[in-house]
Amino acid sequence: MSLKVTLLGTGVGIPQPGRSQAAILIENERPLLFDCGAGTLLRLDQAGTSLEALDTVVLTHLHLDHVSDLLALANARYLSELPGLEVYGPEGTEVYLAILKNAYPNLGRMQIAVHELVPMDSFSVKGFDIFAEEARHSVTALAYRIEAEDRIIVYSGDTEACARVAALAQGADLLIHECSFPEPFDVTNHTTPRKLGEMLCNCGAKRALLTHLYPQAQGYEDEMAEIVANLSGVPTETAWDMMTLTI
């Protein structure tokens, strides 16, 4: 049996055509959502994913472009009289959600079960075995290795090119990695094509998708993917919203 991957959101906090904020849907008969930035509810509807089926979200970190629609998703389930939402995320997730709920007293009965994670944690949910690793970002952030049906998918979240995520990607069938800016940008907390391509040398990943693109990347998408592929030897594409793959 194969896994279905839908890139619901491939953008950042700055609006741009064709890219809503970060969200990835992975389906193994049942759907599992990674990140939930602004626009995710609309993209889920476009993907034909029912609220009833989607009851679990895994967060990489708590920046707004990765969590903007999380409370809205929980509220939509509440209004639809569905059971509460389960959320896995880095340390700080429970406090973050408690603060949000306090801002909306009418949502006091809305249930959100939080499971906080640290690097090297592993857990199983919805038929997926998931391993968390530290990413290198401006806040506490996690990358994930997701395994099911003899398939391996790795999602970087937001990160600089780093050895821990490179190790996580060893032998992956699909690596979904942020690549925020084109060359010759030199940035911290995010990845550029050259640094990502150098990081992926000898990692053995079978395929890579670039996501989390800033507006500065517009017009350079193919070039960015080509740089990564040429340096790493890993077939690479730049993702767009609603791109769907079968792994």
> CA 101 to CA 84: how far, in whole Å?
13
| pLDDT tens track for 95-109 | 999 888 888 877 777
Alpha carbons within 13 A on the beta-carbon side of 42: 11
Catalytic residue among 35, 45, 55, 65: 65
pTM above 0.95, yes or no: yes
Per residue in 202-212, pLDDT tens?
Answer: 999 999 999 99
186 is catalytic: no
What is the β-pairing status of strands 151-155 and 142-148?
Answer: antiparallel
Distance CA(156)–CA(141), nearest Å, equals 9
Q: Which helix H or strand E contains 137, and what residues bound it?
A: none
User: Which CATH fold would you assign to the domain 4-246?
Assistant: Metallo-beta-lactamase; Chain A (3.60.15)
End-to-end CA distance of the chain: 9
pLDDT surpasses 90 at 48: yes
The tokens describing 121, both together, are 């944690």
Largest CA distance in the chain: 53
Residue-level pLDDT at 178: 98
**Cβ neighbours of residue 225 closer than 8 Å, sequence gap 6 or more:** 193, 210, 236, 237, 238
Is residue 178 within a helix (H) or strand (E), and if so which, with residue range? strand 174-178
